[in-house]
Amino acid sequence: MTIQIQKCIFDDLCKLQEISVETFTETFKDHNSPESLNAYLERAYNLKQLEKELSDPFSQFFFVYLNDEVAGYLKVNTNDAQSEEKMGDDSLEIERIYIKSKFQGHGLGKYLLTKAVETAMERDKKKVWLGVWEENENAIAFYKKMGFVQTGSHSFYMGDEEQIDFVMTKLLMPER
């Protein structure tokens, strides 16, 4: 089993859109109405939106490959690209971390999470944070196992439907 990680570039835009839609749909289709899911997919993963995110100097996307096949991806944000202003410039946000269902259980989520932490440390960030849907028990358990603790919550909109995400944080360096 060969695992590789690769930073996304503009030439990867269509591949990024494809895996974004596929993994988000796999994860949330059974818990949301088709209308709400489609509204979110059209807003968050259209090519213009993804191109804007790829060009943001404070955002990065990474693909993870298992045996030369794209198995998942990671999006991290720093500074003004973070979805919560109150987190501060000493934070790195994991905005998206998704693995295709057929590749789950191979440690790829841990691999991407480690990449996010390494990226944060390279940029001298003190903490890593993410939002996770309050009903996604498997993901919450995984993040807790990886050293994250719940530090708050915020609203997430699936179409017009408001949902609650837990904000989970992992400190990388002691607060000064």
CB neighbourhood size of 154 (10 A):
12
Q: Is 143 a catalytic residue?
A: yes
- Taking all residues of the chain, what is their mean pLDDT, rounded to a whole number? 95
**Could you give all domains of the chain from N- to C-terminal order, each with its CATH number?**
3-171 (3.40.630.30)
Q: Which helix (H) or strand (E) holds 152?
A: strand 149-158
Confidence of residue 163 (pLDDT cuts 50, 70, 90): very high
In this model, does residue 176 exceed pLDDT 80?
A: no
User: Considering 40, 73, 111, 143, which one is annotated as catalytic?
Assistant: 143
> Does residue 5 contact residue 65 with C-beta atoms inside 8 Å?
yes
So what's the pLDDT on residue 42?
96
| Mean pLDDT on 40-56 | 97
Q: What separation in angstroms does the CA of 44 have from each of 6, 38, 95, 107, 109? A: 22, 10, 12, 27, 21
Confidence of residue 1 (pLDDT cuts 50, 70, 90): confident
Q: What three-state secondary structure class fits 91? A: strand
pLDDT tens digit sequence for 110-122: 999 999 999 999 9
Task: Strand 161-171: give its sheet, edge to edge.
Answer: 3-7, 59-66, 69-78, 91-99, 127-133, 161-171, 149-158
In this model, does residue 174 exceed pLDDT 70?
A: no
User: How far apart are alpha carbons 129 and 131 in whole angstroms?
Assistant: 7
| Mean pLDDT on 129-145 | 95
Q: Is the pTM of this model over 0.95?
A: no
Q: Give percent above pLDDT 90 in the chain.
A: 93
In this model, does residue 52 exceed pLDDT 70?
A: yes
| Mean pLDDT on 37-61 | 97
